Chain A
């Protein structure tokens, strides 16, 4: 029983030190890369690697201290409540698949913009994001995403003069039709 609890505690400590280990490893890698910058050295002058190396050394030192603290700290240490925690926001349970879906959707949106064009990609993104976010009123979702995308196209292309992506092939034809509909030339 005591052994299981010790393993659990060790697991928690390793988990707490994981972000610092990741940052340390990344910093060590970048430190190595910084040592291989190509430049024409000037005598008795610091090179372009000094500043990044100083920052990376500081990051590695802080990470080392934090890893040591997480692994060796006395049991029961914790942190005070943050303002956010006091407001009750942190109390809601995490739903990792929603986050994963949100990230995949966001990456897919960026990838699709060039192909589908701004209007189609954005309307789809808004609708799917709302559905993933558990807003389950289909009519409202459809209306909000289509009207919202049209509003964005109108404001940015007609008023702010930003050239938003039109897409390719048939999707481009749809985008051009939408622009004509909104009076954007």
Chain B
């Protein structure tokens, strides 16, 4: 414990270095802007920032992306409360009580509760990350290839099963991602797979082009098809923040505890993420909260619960990312991409080989929480001005960022064709409601999954039961099956409910 605190202290010292501090500030501001702009999602923002980190050292790169991720979970609250425009899907629950409170002329107080909740959720998430990552990593040191395969499968099935939308579509998206990862020369046999004699395909498909194309360009094309139509700005109340008193927060301590727990758990479980946490926290308040009867009428509980839960997921996501190299969300997949681009594979060893970097990242999470709250308090007026930028112009630049970002990775014009192709694929995914995150994660984790699968099979004479008979891999595989079964049951129940409604 003392060692962890010592390392964390050193992390704060490293964070004070100009490059790291500058990355933190830039990450916070850009994350806020991205979250405020309705056409840009948090993951898209992190994806677009990735190419700018090529020339940076690894620590400031990850600090920048993590700061963006954290502040992105908070920035969208402003537009949800003030203008009834959720910057991110995770901000939708804030419309119900946040906007309602603003309509009652208490916008400043609503923003104050959001800030308070983001601060609490953020500190919880940072403490979680510091407290859980090392035990996770120590446990993961016992892993062999069957365990790695099981963990990757659990991560991938979690992302497919626990996201919002159709399970079948998520599984298909995952299969497409895994298949994309097989294109090129196979590492065990040197066989050419799905290259069709095309030189660029022989080198494999860069996950960066899949990520940037599908998330960035795909979303731009989807918005263009709707002519960048946004709801008219309907300003509600004054644009300033009034911090609530501690004695007003004390009666809501159960809400704080419940939402923090929901956020942390949704963070650790791959695929659950901030949007799911935000909705679950609001739903839990609606079922068990003391003020459940008044929920939706503009009360603090309806603001605090989703905001705490969504911010609290970040640390939970960082734990498996750093300790196992397993990203549980789109944003952490991008952060994993940044690690890999700098030649660092996150995993249990990283705590021994790069402890400085890991604890600087943890320190940056604490600093990001304070920074985003200060930014939210003092810079709200200029921040919401970006809402008045024409979306056609911002989207044109987003598309350009996608191209230039991908080009800078390898200086290859063929990568731009890949971006265009995956932009169209991303649009088709959006059009047919196939989630993009499973495809991206499949593409990133596919090689690890295949290598650990093949190595295990070779070492165990093609006996696939080994994945289920070893204690750790068997337990993790069981968890993966339970996750899939849960999602399947949820889907069937939902379908039965919809049938019952339409039958009435």
Contact = CB atoms under 8 A, between A and B. Distances in A.
Interface of A: 19-20, 23, 27, 30, 33-34, 37-40, 44-52, 55-56, 58-59, 62-63, 65-66, 73-80, 82-84, 86-89, 92-96, 98-99, 102-103, 106-107, 109-110, 113-114, 122, 125-126, 129-130, 132-135, 140-141, 144-145, 148, 152, 156, 160-165
Nearest to B418: A110
A134 B179 contact: no
B189 A113 contact: no
Contact of A165 (B413, B453, B457): B413
A18 B224 CA distance: 23
A58 to B, nearest CB: 6
Interface in B380-395: 390-393, 395
Contacts of B178: 55
The winner among A48, A62, A79, A144 for most chain B CB atoms within 10 A is: A48
A80 B191 CA distance: 45
B370 interface: no
A52 B179 contact: yes
Interface stretch (B19-27, B122-130, B360-368, B492-500): B492-500
Closest 4 CB pairs of A and B: A133-B392, A76-B502, A92-B229, A39-B191
A16 to B, nearest CB: 9
Given A83-B164, A99-B225, A162-B407, A63 B172 contact: yes
A37 B399 CA distance: 37
16 contacts: A19-B434, A51-B182, A59-B176, A76-B498, A78-B502, A87-B92, A98-B227, A102-B221, A109-B403, A110-B413, A110-B419, A110-B420, A130-B390, A135-B390, A140-B393, A152-B400
B191 A48 contact: yes
Interface string B452-469: 011001100110000000
B396 A87 contact: no
Given A103-B427, A165-B413, 15 more contacts: A33-B194, A39-B186, A48-B186, A62-B171, A62-B172, A77-B499, A79-B165, A87-B95, A102-B225, A103-B424, A106-B420, A110-B413, A132-B392, A133-B393, A162-B411
Interface residues of B, number: 80
A133 B172 contact: no
Contacts of A92: 226-227, 229
Given A55-B182, A87-B89, A114 B413 contact: yes
A99 B221 contact: yes
A106 B217 contact: yes
A163 B423 CA distance: 23
Given A66-B168, A83-B92, A87-B85, A98 B225 contact: yes
Given A46-B462, A76-B498, A98-B225, A144 B404 contact: no
Contacts of A129: 392, 395-396, 399
The winner among B172, B182, B395, B423 for most chain A CB atoms within 10 A is: B172
A44 B461 contact: yes
B291 interface: no
Contacts of B499: 74, 76-77
A44 B462 contact: yes
B193 A34 contact: yes
B104 to A, nearest CB: 21
Contacts of A77: 495, 498-499, 502
B350 interface: no
Contacts of B194: 30, 33-34, 52
A106 B399 contact: yes
A107 B450 CA distance: 33
A94 to B, nearest CB: 5
B226 A95 contact: yes
Given A65-B168, A148-B397, A106 B423 contact: yes
Given A39-B191, A52-B193, A102-B221, A122 B400 contact: yes
A165 B412 CA distance: 10
B432 A19 contact: yes
A76 B454 CA distance: 45
A38 B196 CA distance: 12
Given A62-B172, A113-B413, A82 B165 contact: yes
B433 to A, nearest CB: 8
A95 B495 contact: no
A84 B171 contact: no
A148 B172 contact: no
A48 B462 contact: no
